[in-house]
Amino acid sequence: MTNLLLVAAGVAVALIVSLLARRRRPDAPTQGGFQLPVQVDRADFPHRDRPWLVVVFTSATCNACADVLSKARVAESREVAVVDAEYTGQRDLHLRYGIEAVPSLIVVDAQGAVRAGFLGPVKAQDLWAAVAECREPGSTPAHEVPLGGTDGARPD
């Protein structure tokens, strides 16, 4: 009987210690979402003479980055410049604009204001529609340009 009481007391002490230890552990820190810049200095990028700039922040080890860059290159024209800001070659730009995830794509006007952006993979039609809507507002059915979307979807 004494052994049974000792075992029960030991289990009770273990439970109390476990509960106290669990209470002392702080909650996990809140994770913020990745952000896209809202303004850039056009002098940081080539083709300042073109009214529109599409910057694709990439990494050489990222397969999705190559896909997004190839989709963006289709939008290149006399009016639209497309720039690949690859991490190892353009690390300073990634740091300056707080790019923490790739692929990240921004559509920038002549004054450096980011008019649209995508974080992560993007569908070609969403990207091209965003560039078209920036260049000529009202040219797409939704008339909304996403900024900071995570999957290229338009906000509701």
Question: How, if at all, do strands 104-108 and 114-119 pair?
Answer: antiparallel
Q: Is 119 inside any structural domain? A: yes
Nearest to residue 50, comparing CAs of 23, 28, 77?
Answer: 77
Q: For residue range 29-67, what is the model confidence (pLDDT) as tens digits?
A: 666 678 999 999 999 999 999 999 999 999 999 999 999
Range of the domain at 79: 42-135
Question: What is the rounded distance in angstroms from the CA atom of residue 73 to the CA atom of residue 108?
Answer: 15
Q: Is 87 inside any structural domain? A: yes
Tell whether the model's pLDDT for residue 25 goes beyond 50. yes
52-58: strand order across its sheet: 80-86, 52-58, 104-108, 114-119
* Mean pLDDT along residues 1-24: 77
* Per-residue pLDDT, 152: 43
Q: Is 83 inside any structural domain? A: yes
For residues 118 and 27, which has the higher predicted lDDT (pLDDT)? 118
- Which two tokens mark 19? 């509960």
Q: Is 70 inside any structural domain? A: yes
Q: Is 89 inside any structural domain? A: yes
In this prediction the pTM is: 0.71
Average model confidence (pLDDT) for the chain?
Answer: 85
Nearest to residue 75, comparing CAs of 56, 57, 59?
Answer: 56
Q: Is 54 inside any structural domain? A: yes
Q: Is 73 inside any structural domain? A: yes
The CATH number covering residue 96 comes to: 3.40.30.10
Q: Is 130 inside any structural domain? A: yes
User: What's the number of domains the chain is made of?
Assistant: 1
